[in-house]
Amino acid sequence: MSHAGNHHKINYIEFAANDVARAKQFYATAFGWGFQDWGPDYISFDPESAGIAGGFRTAKANESSGGSAPLIVLYSSDLKATEAAIVAAGGSIVVPTFEFPGGRRFHFSDGVGNLLAVWSE
């Protein structure tokens, strides 16, 4: 499924959680969000119920889910070209491209204190 119309737009938001199952229960009960399980460490919520596509991942040991910022994820129809544009604009790649169910993504710093990610099929 192509998302070409969303090129370089915010497409996904990812939160850290100390307990992914508890996050799922809370948001489903409090707000009626629908979820898909991707294993014990990741769940995604659907945009129809939450207003935007997103997910919860298990927080890393050195990361407090209460104090971590959500990860904003942009979509790109050309991941390599977007990576090159980020570097040319003064940003830096902080997590190299990796595969996940449904696509590939990398994380970058914008040089002014923000970390974001970009994904593609």
Mean pLDDT in consecutive groups of 10 residues from the start of the chain, 121 residues: 79 91 92 94 94 92 70 95 94 96 94 88 93
The pLDDT, as a whole number, for residue 64 is 59
**41: domain CATH number?**
3.10.180.10
Per-residue confidence (pLDDT) for residue 69, from 0 to 100? 83
User: pLDDT value at position 33?
Assistant: 94
**DSSP one-letter string for 49-63:** HHSS-EEEEEPPTT-
Give how many domains the chain has, as a whole number: 1
- Can you read off the two tokens belonging to residue 12? 């996904």
Q: Six-digit token pair at 48?
A: 């129809």
pLDDT at 66: 56
pLDDT value, residue 61: 80
What pLDDT is attached to residue 112? 74
Q: pTM for the complete prediction?
A: 0.77
Query: Which range marks the domain in which residue 99 is found?
Result: 4-120
Which residues lie closer than 8 Å to 3 by C-beta, 6 or more apart?
11, 75, 77, 121
